[in-house]
Amino acid sequence: MKSRSISLFALALAAVIWGPGQSKAQQPGAAKPKPEMGAMILMSDGRRQRGFVQDTNDKGLLFTLVEGAPGTGYAWDTQVKAVAFDETDEIMREARAAYQQGLFEVAEKLLGNVADTYYNVAWVPNSFAAEARYYQIEALRQLGRWKEIGPLLETPTAKAIPTRLPEFFQAQFKMDQLWAQFGADQMDAIKAAVEAVQLPVVGQAKLLPSPSFKEMPLRDLVQYTFFRAKLNETAGNLDQALADYYRTFSLTFGNQKLLRDLSMKAALSIQARNPALQKEGGASPMVLRQIQSLAYLYKNSFGGGEIEEAFSAFAVKPELPKPPAPKKTEEEAKPADGAAPAAATPPADGKKEAADGKKEEPAKGKGKGKGEAPAEEAKGKGK
């Protein structure tokens, strides 16, 4: 009688967890096979059970002790606290390695295959299937394939990310939703998101060409500066757009390859259209140095010695103006220690010059006698 009651309870719980319409709503790929995953589950009372996870959703999981046997429904938190799959590392090893090496084309395919194959375990806490979908979306973002992100956000594995993956994943996952809107050309949504993270323009902030952003991680900030640059460029605010493109590739320190390259090329495109480069009599030296500096930096530091033909003429080391020689200070103008002052040149007529500038005549009479006396004295002694 007791076993019958337990069986009826399990059936009732399964009916609640997997009620009519629930499985279809949570599993758009219901026609796909659902692999049973060997796992250890931690019950809320501290007990552990080894068996097989057959399916999951946001309410609970189906679990069986015997592979292939009908599963029993268990609710999250009240009955099951955690699940540890036996083969997680083996399943994710190759995909994780490709992503960490920056092989995003390869990683996107491998991660997508994992997320699609094991979609039935997406709702397990810290689900590897949800993690695979997250990094697949990130790979698409790094590749600039933003239009492909939107459809993936509607899959069970993506819908599980906000509640089943740790806090570490959440901030960028919110940004990925903006990239999906950007890829779908939903610029009004992008504009609203950018305005929401800007500081109010009051007081001295009105003197700034663009509003400042609220304090946030650098990883988020460079994505917002790129979005705002695109919004300003579309609106024809080229100076503000140029400033934000420079912010984007400067703040990344060149480490985020896609944003770095897109921002540099967009900035070069704006600078190349500057009328000051086509002025009669020659381009503005300042404007020319600006585009040459950026084109030279991109080609030699990030472009592997190559750059688009439209910018190749500017990819030369700019000739910088020579600063004027600094004026000598009074100390520097003084002669070095020990140097004798230059002797004054005597007048041509042998006359001395007095302090007041007048020439003095040589003394007569008395001076002459004094000059002759020794000669006479010397003559007498010789005798």
Instruction: Flag whether 353 is in a domain.
Output: no
Long-range CB contacts for residues 349-354, cutoff 8 Å, separation at least 24: none
Residues 96 and 81 in one domain: no
Supply the Cα-derived Rg of the chain in whole angstroms. 42
Long-range CB contacts for residues 248-255, cutoff 8 Å, separation at least 24: 248/222, 251/218, 251/221, 251/222, 251/225, 252/222, 254/301, 254/302
Query: What number is the average pLDDT over the span 268-275?
Result: 92
End-to-end CA distance of the chain: 168
**Structural domain for 214, as ranges:** 204-312
Question: At residue 258, does pLDDT exceed 70?
Answer: yes
- CATH number of the domain encompassing residue 38: 2.30.30.100
Query: What number is the average pLDDT over the span 262-284?
Result: 87
Residues 108 and 12 in one domain: no
Question: At residue 1, does pLDDT exceed 60?
Answer: no
Instruction: Flag whether 22 is in a domain.
Output: yes
Long-range CB contacts for residues 320-326, cutoff 8 Å, separation at least 24: 320/289, 321/285
Instruction: Flag whether 164 is in a domain.
Output: yes
Q: Is 176 helix (H, G, I), strand (E, B) or coil?
A: helix
Instruction: Flag whether 137 is in a domain.
Output: yes
Residues 213 and 307 in one domain: yes
Question: At residue 205, does pLDDT exceed 90?
Answer: no
Distance CA 379, CA 383 (A): 7
Q: What is the DSSP string of 20-78?
A: TTHHHHH-TTTTS----EEEEEEETTS-EEEEEEEEE-SSEEEEESSTTSPPEEEEBTT
Take residue 46 and report the two structure tokens written for it: 């501290």
Mean pLDDT over the full length of the chain: 83
Q: For residues 318 and 29, which has the higher predicted lDDT (pLDDT)?
A: 318
Dump pLDDT digits (tens) for 135-183.
999 999 999 999 999 999 999 999 999 999 999 999 999 999 999 999 9
Query: What number is the average pLDDT over the span 359-368?
Result: 51
> Under a CB-based contact definition with an 8 Å cutoff, are residues 256 and 246 in contact?
no
- Range from 166-175, 185-194, 342-351 carrying the lowest mean pLDDT: 342-351
Structure confidence at residue 333 as a pLDDT band (50, 70, 90): low
Query: What number is the average pLDDT over the span 84-112?
Result: 97
pLDDT of residue 264: 95
- For the chain, how many structural domains are there in total? 3
Question: At residue 357, does pLDDT exceed 60?
Answer: no
Instruction: Flag whether 345 is in a domain.
Output: no
Question: At residue 116, does pLDDT exceed 50?
Answer: yes
Of 185, 214, 245, the domain-final residue: 185
Please report how many Cα atoms fall inside a 13 Å half-sphere around the Cα of residue 204, on the Cβ side.
Answer: 0
Nearest to 54 by CA among 119, 127, 133, 134: 119
Q: CB 34: neighbour CB atoms within 10 A? A: 18
pLDDT of residue 82: 96
Helices (H), the chain: 2-17, 22-26, 88-100, 104-117, 128-143, 149-152, 156-159, 161-164, 170-183, 187-196, 218-235, 238-251, 257-272, 285-297, 309-312, 330-333, 366-382
Q: What is the DSSP string of 364-377?
A: -THHHHHHHHHHHH
> Under a CB-based contact definition with an 8 Å cutoff, are residues 91 and 97 in contact?
no
Instruction: Flag whether 102 is in a domain.
Output: yes
Distance CA 326, CA 56 (A): 77
Residues 208 and 308 in one domain: yes
Structure confidence at residue 383 as a pLDDT band (50, 70, 90): very low
Distance CA 269, CA 379 (A): 104
Instruction: Flag whether 95 is in a domain.
Output: yes
Question: At residue 265, does pLDDT exceed 90?
Answer: yes
Q: For residues 14 and 186, which has the higher predicted lDDT (pLDDT)?
A: 186
Q: For residues 282 and 216, which has the higher predicted lDDT (pLDDT)?
A: 216
Distance CA 83, CA 50 (A): 10
Residues 123 and 154 in one domain: yes
Residues 210 and 307 in one domain: yes
The proportion of the chain whose per-residue pLDDT surpasses 90, expressed as a percent, equals: 61
Query: What number is the average pLDDT over the span 237-264?
Result: 91
Query: What number is the average pLDDT over the span 193-206?
Result: 85
Residues 24 and 123 in one domain: no
> Under a CB-based contact definition with an 8 Å cutoff, are residues 302 and 264 in contact?
yes
Residues 146 and 234 in one domain: no
Phi, psi of 335 (to 5 degrees): -65, 155
Distance CA 228, CA 240 (A): 9
